[in-house]
Amino acid sequence: MIQQIAFIATLAAAVYFISRRVSGIRKNIGLGKNTFRTDQPQVRLRNMMLVAFGQKKMFKKFIPAILHLFIYVGFVVINLEVLEFVIDGLAGTHRIFAPYLGGFYGVLMNIFEFLAVAVLLSCVFFLIRRNILKVKRFWMYEMTKWPRLDANIILFTEIVLMLAILTMNATDQILQQSDPHYAATGKLYFSSMLMPIFDSLPVSTLLFIERFAWWFHIIGILAFAVYVTYSKHLHIFLAFPNTYFAKIEPKGHMNNMPVVTNEVKMMLGLQDATAAPPAEPGRFGAKDINDLPSTSLMGAYSCTECGRCTAECPANLTGKKLSPRKIMMDTRDRMEDVRKSLDKGGPGLQDGKTLLNDYITKEEINACTSCNACVEACPVLINPLEIILELRRYVSMEESGAPSSWNSMYQNIETNFAPWKFSPSDRFNWSKD
């Protein structure tokens, strides 16, 4: 009974903190313009299954992809065992599924243990890769102490949780030989390798270790679930809606502003007289997060800071200040700062700061070539370019602050239908020679 009460209290606390955090994230995403796209649901569902569930884009780098797949599958499948933990905690039972599944229970447990070991080894490899081999994209200037520490905390936590499972199963198998309360699981291959460590211990010590490992694992899982909502690893959950609502147009497609399109059509005499004019925008482009599409804000929370976008960015590769990863991190930081302010009864968006200038500089967005390399590289279809374009629209259309060379280009396009300052009739003069 004491175990049940303690477990219910622990579970309730975890649910409370998770629901509170999820509510805050939902409100943050809701600060943006509601642009969740629902057209072509079959295409969107296919993208979600292939990219988020199937890890399709991860396999551009095969070895990290395989190890990430082990962690991902392990996370999903091992959580099926956590379901048994939860039922045992609520009912005060021990391995409640074992009597019903018979020998198949041992097969399942061996699968779980194989995945636990695969997760453990993959996490060790990733820790070595980040901290000893120091892969360049994990050590760029935007990867300050906290982003690096966050990744290490997650990897270390997963290693400890997997060790807790193996320790619990090893001591459990020894106790099965003397205590009828412990249901028979059959031989569990990986945890049985640890049994010699505990064989000589008295039963009371084994009981303590087994129960401690059980509690450590379940509390660790619940604490991990709470922590993930504050971490870059929130992509574990948000990758699914992010890939579903991602743009499905060709990557070179840029969204036109309806009010501008309407004006151009009117000038050219192409406007449908019966069509209702689009609503006037409150602002051209974006200055702060509330001007951005909600899908872009969700993308900021979906970013795992892997840096593949920045590693492929031609502007960054040539020494420019732009980092698409930093664009997403800065957008998320701005949302978090606004939410903290609102939760304290502060001014929120009216705090005197804006996403443009205070978080993202004009130098960064002006360095972008709009090549979509970052969009192509992202394993979960995040679109940093959409944020960059909206910020540049604001600078150009609201502040008239675009570089002078850009303004000349805009004028040439408007008058000559090309970036160059010569008549359209002279466009093919080069071919005469």
Is 199 in contact with 178 (CB distance < 8 Å)?
no
Residue 273: its pLDDT value, please? 59
Residue found by looking up tokens 């940093």 in the block:
384
Q: Please give the CATH topology (third level) of the domain spanning 249-270+283-406.
A: Fumarate Reductase Iron-sulfur Protein; Chain B, domain 2 (1.10.1060)
How many beta carbons lie within 10 A of that of residue 226, not counting itself? 17
Cβ(387)–Cβ(292) below 8 Å: yes
Which of 81, 78, 102, 92 shows the shortest CA–CA distance to 211?
92
Q: What's the confidence (pLDDT) of residue 272?
A: 66
Residue ranges in the chain modelled with pLDDT below 50: none
Q: Can you read off the two tokens belonging to residue 279? A: 């609503």
Residue 380: φ, ψ to 5°: -125, 25
Instruction: Specify the pLDDT at position 48.
Output: 96
- Largest CA-CA distance found in the chain, in angstroms, rounded: 97
Torsional sign, CA 299, 305, 308, 310: positive
Backbone phi, then psi, for 360, in 5-degree steps?
-120, 130
How many Cβ atoms from other residues are within 10 Å of residue 431's Cβ?
6
Task: Give the per-residue pLDDT at 281.
Answer: 62
Structure tokens at 191: 């945890």
pTM of the model: 0.89
- Identify the pLDDT of residue 182: 83
Q: What mean pLDDT is reported for the chain?
A: 91
